Amino acid sequence: MQNKPQGWPGITWIEGRTLLQVPNVKGQGEWRIGPAKKSDSPVFHNVAMANNRTRSVLLLGLAIRERWLLKEGKLRVLDGLAASSLRSRRWLNELPEELVEKLEIISVDRNRESVNWALANHKKYPPENSNHEQLSIQEGDLRQIVYSGGWQWIDIDPYGSPIPFLDSAMQNLARKAILQVSATDTAALCGTYPQVTRRRYAAYAVNDTVTHDTAIRILLGNIALCAAKHERSIEPLMSVFDGHHTRVSVLVTPGKKNASNVYENIGWRVNSPDKNTITTSIKAGLHSFGCADYPQPRVFLPYNSPPKSLANGKVSGPLWTGPIAKKQVLEHLTEDYALETCGICKDDHKHLISLANWKDEDIRMSNKKVISCVKRLHQSKDAVETNGLVTMDELPQWINIDGPPSPKKLISAINQRGFKAAVSVISTPAIQTDIPWNELIKIVKDINDVIAK
Ligand SMILES: C[S@@+](CC[C@H](N)C(=O)[O-])C[C@H]1O[C@@H](n2cnc3c(N)ncnc32)[C@H](O)[C@@H]1O
């Protein structure tokens, strides 16, 4: 039987288009970043993770609509570290009725107070588009509950590293499944604490201007190798580094052959490579910048051609060297789709706006967040399959120019020459492109000359 949650009913808040009660402590139910400490709140609700949950709603909606996982029948979904179960409640509440009817969700948390808050919220605000029973909220350990198996979708959203949960989740996925994984131990993934990076992720990570991309790739590399051990392979669908966390979503499919080929997408990132290293990368098809004679910021090397020295502060890896997202998925992630699914409209959602006593400014902030969580992902779509990554601020180090170019101007100029280019999803201004380095130099210099005139 459900106990009354400690501090219930707290205050009323809306995330996406879903109402919830949150504990009345600082950082809850306001537009600032979550509780200061985990212990400040009886249930963990982090406002800063709203974008993470919104993307989850959007991706699940696409997976059902586009039938990526099942042609018919219901999707078995596990919200593995659920806290307030807001993610599950948002799936049920915000996706259209015809999609939601395909869901059977279990949300799990081992913290009893979290479960109490989740149950009370689910009872107070039953989902509008679906049956209340489609979500079963359970107290327990993800690593036990996951063993019932056959999950088409597992969400792993831990405090810190997802590594303790990966193996059991991987073993218990259905034949075709999506695994969504967050990591908030970004200091480890970005190489701030090299020993922790080595111990936890069996990797080196250089803490440089592209460290967020490196973090995403180290996490993907670990997931890919875990999948391979269980005779499965992954295809990244969407990856972000957002504020204090990294989040990747991968399609997992079975098959020994693809699992054995995992090392085709695992390798090394070498900074300031010498000519031989650039040549090796070009020969392996991992360096579209080409031009081994020109000094360049970085290259990928295949796993089976490791750099001579690993501990010289220039090498990151092993990491995922393939695309970190799938173009066809990013194409769907438009601002319109995000707003249609998770946005609030003053006329259509009067009831929830009045319950939360929201002002126009709150609605504006909420919709702005919904848009922002897909904006850069969608913009990155045209070059997501390329492997040339360069940050704007580092260009003056490599090319004799006065200051960094605007990414927008650079992308447009590269596109005009017939090459692919788009913003990168990392938060530092950066682009992904397949233009050769000598051509890039010319374009960057031209832009610089125009500005200088
Ligand atoms: C970062 S919070 C999850 C936030 C939540 N996914 C959301 O979107 O709001 C991590 C949660 O994992 C729970 N947890 C930690 N270890 C667990 C385990 N082994 N099994 C189930 N829950 C666990 C904690 O109690 C905590 O509520």
Helical (H) or strand (E) element with 210: none
pLDDT, tens digit (0-9, with 9 covering 90-100), for 324-374: 999 999 999 999 999 999 999 999 999 999 999 999 999 999 999 999 999
pLDDT, tens digit (0-9, with 9 covering 90-100), for 415-447: 999 999 999 999 899 999 999 999 999 999 999
3-state secondary structure of 81: coil
- Nearest residue to 57 (alpha-carbon basis) of 29, 106, 17: 17
- Cα of 144 to ligand 1 centre, how many Å? 14
Tell which atom from ligand 1 comes closest to the C-alpha of 141: 20
pLDDT, tens digit (0-9, with 9 covering 90-100), for 160-218: 999 999 999 999 999 999 999 999 999 999 999 999 999 999 999 999 999 999 999 99
- Cα of 165 to ligand 1 centre, how many Å? 11
- Cα of 21 to ligand 1 centre, how many Å? 18
pLDDT, tens digit (0-9, with 9 covering 90-100), for 63-80: 999 999 999 999 999 999
- Cα of 139 to ligand 1 centre, how many Å? 11
Angle between helices 194-201 and 211-229 (to 10 degrees): 20
Indicate the residue type of 395: L
* C-alpha to C-alpha distance for 320 and 73, rounded to whole angstroms: 33
pLDDT of residue 34: 59
Q: Distance of CA 109 to CAs 39, 122, 196, 315, 370, Å?
A: 16, 15, 26, 38, 26
- Cα of 340 to ligand 1 centre, how many Å? 29
pLDDT, tens digit (0-9, with 9 covering 90-100), for 244-258: 899 999 999 999 999
Indicate the residue type of 450: V
Answer yes or no: are the C-beta atoms of 254 and 220 closer than 8 Å. no
* C-alpha to C-alpha distance for 424 and 312, rounded to whole angstroms: 27
Whether 139 shows a pLDDT value over 90: the answer reads yes
* C-alpha to C-alpha distance for 363 and 368, rounded to whole angstroms: 8
Q: What is the average pLDDT score of the chain?
A: 95
Domain regions of the chain by residue span: 386-453
From 109, 155, 185, mutation site for ligand 1 pocket: most ligand atoms within 8 A of C-beta: 109
- Cα of 81 to ligand 1 centre, how many Å? 3
pLDDT of residue 35: 58
- Cα of 401 to ligand 1 centre, how many Å? 48
pTM over 0.95: yes
Among the four given CATH numbers 3.40.190.10, 2.60.120.280, 3.30.465.10, 3.30.56.70, the one describing domain 386-453: 3.30.56.70
pLDDT of residue 24: 87
Residues with CB under 6 A from ligand 1: 44-45, 49, 53, 81-84, 86-87, 108-111, 114, 141-143, 157-159
* Nearest-CA residue for atom 27 of ligand 1: 83
- Nearest residue to 16 (alpha-carbon basis) of 338, 342, 360, 333: 342
- Six-digit token string for 234: 């992954």
pLDDT of residue 38: 64
Angle between helices 50-65 and 360-379 (to 10 degrees): 60
Chain centre distance of CA 49: 11
Tell which atom from ligand 1 comes closest to the C-alpha of 184: 1
From 56, 107, 110, mutation site for ligand 1 pocket: most ligand atoms within 8 A of C-beta: 110
pLDDT, tens digit (0-9, with 9 covering 90-100), for 274-329: 999 999 999 999 999 999 999 999 999 999 999 999 988 999 999 999 999 999 99
- Six-digit token string for 414: 């590269």
DSSP class of residue 260 equals H
* C-alpha to C-alpha distance for 167 and 141, rounded to whole angstroms: 14
